[in-house]
Amino acid sequence: MLKDWTKFEKAFLTTGTLSAIILTIICKSPCIDLIYVVMYLWTALLLAKGRYACYIIGIISTFFYAAVSYSNHYYGEVIIALCCTLPLTILGLVNWLRHLDSKKVVIIKDITTKEILLLIASQVIMAVGYYYLLKAFGTSNLLVSTISISVSLIATYLEARRSEYGFVGYILNDIILIVLWGIPFISGDITLATAWLCPILLLINDIYGVNNWKKIKQRQRKDKE
DSSP assignment of 89-123: HHHHHHHHHTSB-TTS-BPP----HHHHHHHHHHH
Higher pLDDT, 184 or 126: 126
The DSSP bridge partners found for residue 106 are 100
Is the entire prediction scored with pTM above 0.85? Answer: yes
pLDDT-based confidence at 21, cuts 50/70/90? Answer: very high
DSSP 192: G
Domain count, the chain: 1
Give the Cα separation of 196 and 20 in Å (integer): 10
**Any domain includes 113:** no
Mean pLDDT of 47-74: 88
Would you state the pLDDT for residue 1? 67
- Please give the residue range of the domain that contains residue 74: 7-100+133-224
- Residue 123 within a domain: no
Q: Is the dihedral of CA 50, 56, 57, 58 positive or negative?
A: positive
One-letter amino acid of 170: Y
Task: State which amino acid sits at residue 104.
Answer: K
In-domain check, residue 127: no
Does residue 199 fall inside a structural domain?
Answer: yes
Region 83-109: mean pLDDT is 90
In a domain, 59, yes or no: yes
> Comparing C-alpha atoms, which of 204, 206, 178 is closest to residue 193?
178
Query: Averaged over 192-218, what is the pLDDT?
Result: 92
Question: Residue 126 falls within a domain, yes or no?
Answer: no
Classify residue 76: in a domain, yes or no.
yes
Classify residue 77: in a domain, yes or no.
Answer: yes
